[in-house]
Amino acid sequence: MKSRTERRVLITGGAGFIGSNLAARLLQVPSTHVMVYDNLARPGVERNLAWLRSLASPGQLAVVPGDVRDRTLLAEAAVGATEIFHFAAQVAVTSSIDDPLADCHTNILGTLHVLEAARAARIPPLVLFTSTNKVYGSLEKLPTQRIGDRYAFADSAFEGVSEQHPLDFHSPYGCSKGAADQYVHDYARIYGVPTVVFRMSCIAGPRQLGTEDQGWVAHFLYSALEGNPVTIYGDGCQVRDVLHVHDLVDAMEAAVAHRQRTAGEVFNVGGGLAQAVSVREALALIERQTGRPVEARYAEARPGDQRIYISDTARLRTATGWRPTRSLDRTFADIGAFWQSDLASREARAARGEAEPQLAFAQEAQGA
């Protein structure tokens, strides 16, 4: 018989950056069982899975290789879940422009499969969905001004974008995530599924793979450490509020702990004014931390890019008491430390003649 305090958590996209950090936190509690559901397509996830296996007690971790577009497999994985964290997604604006149909199938249909799996349960699990600030569009009507190497709100009293700001989906990615966001929100109203939507700004931290299309902070930092140039789209004065991934996990756990107040709600989540940084300022910070210059090349701004986005997190703070505690310097330092540690581990394995971790999952799939 299951303990009343036992948590059985399904994480779609659980082998990725945010998913693996959340899973690692959950695995610290022996009574929590974690199922990672991931299509394992992204390079580097095999190292995340090896790390999670090293943290888990016997039978505590299950890994199911699967796509959220597979409704039957996903429904089977969701049986018995007390919570579902839905992170699996197509995450790049550029990829959505190249193939909007694939973007739609993953982000909209995949999310509906998650919601239907939750609705089918006798006691529907809490579903936490990670949405995006892109649902607010380019924010063209929000007055801004350029001050040095950054944009700022023209109204100095304006502290950030709240959940009351009008939705304005821009780009196929914005449309698909925005539609999924609204489905998740509405399933709480129509079907009584306890859902929470996090509209996230820039999340960064250890285990972030970081590419030009997604995870720009890590991408810039890794490029500096590896001596590679970076491309800046636009003038580089664009501002984002950066949130350490561990602060994000804190926010997620706070939302679960206060589900009586968070279920059925939408929250903007980010670092806020204190953790806001422009692209140019981020590059300068990276150069100071690494002691290495970053070669920057400039290109035309991308469609729908926001000059400035800073989250107003007052609503989540009021509902849960959460607030970020890790500084911008700490976030950048933790990413750099992860890169150094990961590089040292790979070099040590190579020196011993050992292969890189493989995507073996049969044993874990039987475990939780």
Distance, in Å, from the CA atom of 76 to the CA atom of 361, rounded to the nearest integer, reads 17
DSSP collapsed to 3 states, 269-290: ECCCHHHEEEHHHHHHHHHHHH
Instruction: Indicate whether 209 belongs to any domain.
Output: yes
Tokens linked to 100: 């909007």
Lookup result for tokens 């809490």: 126
Q: Is 247 a member of any domain?
A: yes
Q: Is residue 225 one of the residues assigned to a domain?
A: yes
Kind of pairing, strands 144-147 and 150-153?
antiparallel
pLDDT number for residue 232: 95
pLDDT at 335: 95
Predicted pLDDT at 171: 84
Strand, coil or helix: what is 136?
helix
Pull the structure tokens for residue 209: 């793979």
Name the amino acid, one letter, at 332.
F
Q: Where are the beta strands (DSSP E) in the chain?
A: 7-12, 32-38, 61-65, 83-86, 126-132, 144-147, 150-153, 195-200, 202-204, 230-233, 239-244, 265-269, 276-278, 296-299, 308-309
* CA–CA distance, 81 with 77 (Å, rounded to integer): 8
Residue 233 Ramachandran class (φ > 0 left, ψ -120 to 50 alpha, else beta)? beta
Long-range contacts of 335-343 (CB under 8 A, 24+ apart): 335/204, 335/205, 335/206, 335/208, 335/210, 335/217, 335/218, 335/221, 336/221, 336/225, 336/289, 336/290, 337/206, 338/205, 338/206, 338/207, 338/208, 339/221, 339/222, 339/225, 340/225, 342/47
- Residue 157 in any domain: the answer is yes
Sort residue 82 into left (φ over 0), alpha (ψ -120 to 50) or beta. Answer: alpha
| Residues recognised as catalytic | 173
Domain contains 360: no
- Rounded to whole angstroms, how far apart are CA atoms 82 and 329? 36
Place of tokens 């290495």: 292
Domain count for the chain: 1
CATH number at residue 77: 3.40.50.720
**pTM more than 0.75:** yes
C-alpha–C-alpha distance, residues 9 and 368, integer Å: 10
- Per-10-residue mean pLDDT of the chain, 368 residues long, equals 72 96 97 96 89 96 97 97 96 85 95 98 97 93 94 92 94 92 98 98 91 84 93 95 98 98 98 96 94 92 89 98 96 94 80 68 37
N residues, the chain: 368
Q: Distance between CA atoms of 325 and 331, rounded to whole angstroms?
A: 11
Query: Does residue 208 contact residue 229 with C-beta atoms inside 8 Å?
Result: no
The DSSP call for residue 134 is G
Beta strands 276-278 and 239-244: pairing type?
antiparallel
246: its two tokens: 């561990």
pLDDT of the residue at 108: 97
Give the number of other CB atoms < 10 A from CB of residue 281.
17
Asked if 302 and 216 count as a contact pair (C-beta separation under 8 A), the reply is: no
Q: What are the beta bridge partners of residue 50?
A: none
Give the separation between CA 247 and CA 229, rounded to whole angstroms. 30
pLDDT value of position 358: 56
Q: What is the DSSP string of 21-39?
A: HHHHHHTTSTTEEEEEEE-
Instruction: Classify burial at 179, counting beta carbons within 10 Å of its beta carbon; exposed 0-12, middle 13-18, buried 19 or more.
Output: middle
Range of the domain at 32: 7-353
Q: Supply 56's token pair.
A: 């888990």
